[in-house]
Amino acid sequence: MRDMAEDVEYRGWKIKQQSYKSERALWHPKALVSIGDGGNVREYQVAAPPDVMYATERDADAYAIEVAKKWIDERG
């Protein structure tokens, strides 16, 4: 059950955790990254590599935030 995790603001972007449970009952880190752009919102799905999984949703979400921040940093 997902508790209502707070969205994370980073360098003007919003990061929303969207980790999900795999068939093996492990959590795969994933995040939705968005930014406002002149009245429009641009959204991107950012996920960890397929072999990266965690036993808990909390740990997967924490990793998803780190992956999303790196993705943002790589784009300036």
Mind listing the pLDDT tens digit for each residue in 26-44?
999 999 999 998 889 999 9
Q: Is residue 69 part of a domain?
A: yes
* pLDDT averaged over every residue in the chain: 92
Q: Is residue 24 part of a domain?
A: yes
Q: Is residue 1 part of a domain?
A: no
Q: Is residue 32 part of a domain?
A: yes
Q: What is the pTM assigned to this prediction?
A: 0.87
Q: Are 46 and 33 in contact (CB under 8 A)?
A: yes
What is the tally of structural domains in the chain? Answer: 1
Q: Is residue 2 part of a domain?
A: no
Q: Is residue 3 part of a domain?
A: no
| Confidence at residue 1, expressed as pLDDT on a 0 to 100 scale | 45
Q: Which domain holds residue 67?
A: 8-74
**How many whole angstroms separate alpha carbon 36 and alpha carbon 43?**
9
Average pLDDT over residues 44-57: 96
- Burial of residue 5, with CB atoms counted within 10 A of its CB: 0-12 exposed, 13-18 middle, 19 or more buried: middle
Question: Would you give the end-to-end CA distance of the chain in angstroms?
Answer: 35
Confidence bin at 3 (pLDDT 50/70/90): low
| Confidence at residue 16, expressed as pLDDT on a 0 to 100 scale | 97
Q: Is residue 14 part of a domain?
A: yes
CATH classification of the domain holding 62:
3.30.160.350
